[in-house]
A = this chain, B = another copy of it.
Amino acid sequence: MDNIIVQKYGGTSVGDANKIKRVADRIIRSKEQGNNMVVIVSAMGDTTDGLVRLAKEIMPVPAGREYDALISTGESISASLLAMALHAKGYEALSLTGRQAGVYTEDVHNKAKIMDVKPARVEDELNLGKIVIVTGFQGVNSQDDITTIGRGGSDTSAVVIAAALNAKVCEIYTDVDGVYTANPSLIKNARKHKVISYDEMLEMASLGAGVLHPRAVEGAKEYGLEIHVRSSYNFSEGTIVKEVSKMEIKNPVTGIAYDENVAKIAILELPDEPGIAGQLFTILANEKINVDMIIQSNQVDSHNDIAFTVSKDDLSRALEITKDYAQSIKAAKVVNDKDVSKISIIGVGMVSSPGVAASMFSMLGGNGINIDSITTSEIKVSCIISSKDTEKAVKLLHDGFQLEK
């Protein structure tokens, strides 16, 4: 089937009955332009948080399977309400759960990966001329149980469904109107990108720019699917995320990202045995805790330390696991710090422009901002700094690399 557009609306876009009606208008606008419409929705506003609160009243750490069965109801509610809003305007529409839309995930709960999409039902309904609404954020595993794919996962749902349907574009509607060189609420002269490459978007997303979930960008890159990030409050063009050739790139740095949802854990005075880092990070990975930066220092005449960062949400669980492990290997002490943030510069041109990282360190250090640790990749440099310096650092770097131009 041709001319399929997949749209995804986040929780704030469908926050109440009136907002749902406005989303329906927007869908109809695209439908009337001759497109076959598939729409992925998140749960309304704070629904998910309300369900989580309810669960925690019953059990501090609810088991994965029931937790998924519980919170997935949020998307079912918004999807069927959106279908009703389309009916009210005279359009044929229906809501499908992740399972009904053929979204199959691995047998893991809370953060399951999507393994396959078999959208036969979606195609059948499109062939009948219907607008198809699909619950984001969820799928079904081999046991026929509902799974969820982690917070922000509706972006990923949208991308994999769009890829499976061979959609011409996947439009992600959000409360900002595109991807900027830096957070526009912080940096007044931040510039909106018309186009950004998958790799840069991936780094922006991973580093907390917040408009798009990194797994969604990875998926889009894998399938060569174009993503259009745009605002659900206006009709202006947003930012297209697609493959960009190196020849088109002017500034080695294209964006400044920061992430305040970071916490640092360190084990001090480790015994000098091989394989300790591997063991610890395997245990954390098995518990589905994403470890981001890892800093290991092995001085010859001193004790060894190992430090790493996780998201603040995972801190208490990661800390517990790390303390247990530290005790088992007789390490001296585990410490943690929540008052940190990660600031990053991103650009696919960095790899061919030596000295960019050094410029970053000078700009920060020269203005009294202490760098706790550093990681680099081909297209980004990240530093852990004190939370209180975040805003100042973003401004310094945005000006320093002249991103307003």
**A contacts, CB < 8 Å to B:** 17, 20-21, 51, 54-55, 57-59, 62-63, 65-67, 69-70, 72-73, 76-77, 79-81, 83-85, 87-88, 94-95, 97, 100, 121, 144-145
Q: Choose one: B66, B76, B81, B94; the contact of A55 (CB below 8 Å).
A: B81
A54 smallest CB distance to B (angstroms): 6
Residues of B within 8 A of A97 (CB): 69
**Top 9 nearest A-B pairs by Cβ distance?**
A17-B57, A73-B73, A70-B80, A69-B80, A59-B88, A66-B80, A66-B83, A59-B84, A58-B84
Residues of B within 8 A of A66 (CB): 80-81, 83-84, 87, 94-95
Query: Are the CB atoms of B77 and A51 closer together than 8 Å?
Result: yes
A125 smallest CB distance to B (angstroms): 11
A276 smallest CB distance to B (angstroms): 34
Query: Are the CB atoms of A59 and B85 closer together than 8 Å?
Result: yes
Residues of B within 8 A of A21 (CB): 58
CA distance A196 to B166 in the complex (A): 62
Selected A-B contacts with CB under 8 Å, 9 pairs: A59-B85, A62-B84, A63-B84, A66-B80, A66-B84, A66-B94, A69-B76, A69-B83, A73-B73
A351 smallest CB distance to B (angstroms): 48
**In this complex, what residue of B is CB-closest to A71?**
B80
Query: Are the CB atoms of B65 and A17 closer together than 8 Å?
Result: no
**In this complex, what residue of B is CB-closest to A145?**
B100
CA distance A85 to B85 in the complex (A): 36
Query: Are the CB atoms of B65 and A94 closer together than 8 Å?
Result: yes
Query: Are the CB atoms of A77 and B81 closer together than 8 Å?
Result: no
Query: Are the CB atoms of B63 and A73 closer together than 8 Å?
Result: no
Q: Choose one: B55, B67, B77, B87; the contact of A73 (CB below 8 Å).
A: B77
A184 smallest CB distance to B (angstroms): 33
Q: Choose one: B51, B55, B81; the contact of A70 (CB below 8 Å).
A: B81
Query: Are the CB atoms of B79 and A69 closer together than 8 Å?
Result: yes
Residues of B within 8 A of A70 (CB): 76-77, 80-81, 84
Residues of B within 8 A of A145 (CB): 100
CA distance A20 to B145 in the complex (A): 23
Residues of B within 8 A of A80 (CB): 55, 66-67, 69-70
CA distance A81 to B54 in the complex (A): 8
